[in-house]
Amino acid sequence: MSTDIDLQQLPRLSELFKLFNAGKHLNRLSDPSLWVELEQSLPAYTELFKALGYELCVDGRGFAWFHNEEVSPSVSGQSRQLALLFMVIFDTQADAGYSLQRFSEWRVDRKLIEVVFEQHQELLIAEGLEVDELLALLAKAETFGFARQHVDYWELLPAVCRYLDHFEALADHLREQGAEQDSGEDEDDMSDTGGVS
């Protein structure tokens, strides 16, 4: 391991650090030049950030962020709301037959959010989220690098994969559970599903 990192070779260090430290995700799609910078000196950056006490995570799907173990309660609250937002969007889109992998092609606009709200009204109202709050959450999502705003719609950025992965894992889990329950009804001998719920 080389121990000497030449800071001259990292001209955009402070920019990157500021971005990550603000809790934002860097997306290759929306910020290709910064991404290239990171990609080309990735070992140096990783090491440098590590020395500073941050864990830089890079996902090959084109996004990077600082992994943070201890999250402040307000951030976690926001994160929870964001998770909910993306979950209901995924759910709505999946029902509408869209491939979730292609979320970056969706035009998330008021119309879509209204449909989303309609379909998850109970859940969202319980969380105190209505259409306007959901739209405000999208603006919040932009500050974390999950979305970017176009003239009349929001585009979801690759970093949303982090939520999508969770969502799919959850969906798989539920599907398995459902399958087991189905087969349980049929065969009656597979009853060890208690631990999963």
Partner 1 sequence: MIRYGFQRLVLLGSAGYQRAELPLDDAVSLIAPNNTGKTSLINALQFLLIINKQRMDFGSHDDSKTRRFYFPNNSAYILLEITLPQTGTVVFGCVGKGVSYDYEYFAYKGDLVVEDYRLPEGHLVQQPQLISHLATRGRSVYRYDASEFAKRIYGGRLNERRSEPDFTVFKLENSNDAQVFQQVLTRTLRLDKLASADVKKHLLQIFRRDLPDRNINFKQVWDEAFHDVNADRAQYEAANSQLALIQKMESFYEQRLSLRGKLVVWQTRVNEALSQWQDYYHQQITSLTEQEQMLEAQQKQQTERIKQLTRSQGDLERTIEQLEKENREQTQLQSRFSLVSSRAVMELQLDAIKRELYRVSAVLQQADGRTVAAIERALSRQKQHLDTLKQQKKNLDDNLYRSLGEQLSAEELDRLNRVLSEQAMVLSSEHFRVDLTELKRVLATATADRVELGGLSLSVARLQPGHKQLTEAALDEQIADTERELIGLEAQLAAAQSMEATRHRKQSLENEVQEAQQALADYDRLQSLLESAPERELAFQARTQELHQLNDELERFSEHTEALRLQREQVIDRQKQLQDQNGRIDRLRNNRLDLTEEFSYLKALPHHPWMAEEVWPLDELANNMRTFQQDCQALNQFNSELKAGIRELHAGGLTRFQYSEVEDQELKRIIEFSHQLPQEREALEKKARSAVVNVTASLRELRNGLLTFQSKMREFNRLIGHRRLSDLKTFKIEAEDESHLVEAINVLIAKAEQVETGDSFELFNQESVLDDTALDRAKQILIDEGNARHGLKVDDLFRLVFVVAKFDQEAETFQDIDSAASNGTVLMAKLVTGLAMLHLMQDKRHKLHAICYLDEALALDGRNQASLIETAHEFGFSLIFASPAPLTTVRYCVPIHHSDGANHISRDSWQMLEPLNSEGIR
Q: Which residues bind partner 1 (CB under 8 A)?
A: 28-29, 32-36, 58-62, 104-105, 158
User: In angstroms, rounded to a whole number, what is the distance separating the alpha carbons of residues 89 and 103?
Assistant: 10
Of 125 and 169, which has the nearer Cβ to partner 1?
169
User: To the nearest whole angstrom, how small is the minimum distance from the Cβ of residue 1 to partner 1?
Assistant: 11
Of 61 and 140, which has the nearer Cβ to partner 1?
61
Of 60 and 73, which has the nearer Cβ to partner 1?
60
Of 62 and 66, which has the nearer Cβ to partner 1?
62
99 alpha carbon, distance to own chain's centre = 16
Kindly report the backbone phi and psi dihedral angles of residue 149, in degrees, each rounded to the nearest multiple of 5, phi listed first: -95, 135
User: To the nearest whole angstrom, how small is the minimum distance from the Cβ of residue 5 to partner 1?
Assistant: 17
Instruction: Let me know: does 112 contact 106? Beta carbons within 8 Å.
Output: yes
Of 44 and 88, which has the nearer Cβ to partner 1?
44
User: To the nearest whole angstrom, how small is the minimum distance from the Cβ of residue 79 to partner 1?
Assistant: 24
User: To the nearest whole angstrom, how small is the minimum distance from the Cβ of residue 16 to partner 1?
Assistant: 14
Of 88 and 160, which has the nearer Cβ to partner 1?
160
Pairing between β-strand 26-27 and β-strand 63-67 as defined by DSSP bridges: antiparallel
User: To the nearest whole angstrom, how small is the minimum distance from the Cβ of residue 176 to partner 1?
Assistant: 13
Sign of CA dihedral 91, 123, 65, 150: positive
- Polymer length in residues for the chain: 197
User: To the nearest whole angstrom, how small is the minimum distance from the Cβ of residue 190 to partner 1?
Assistant: 19
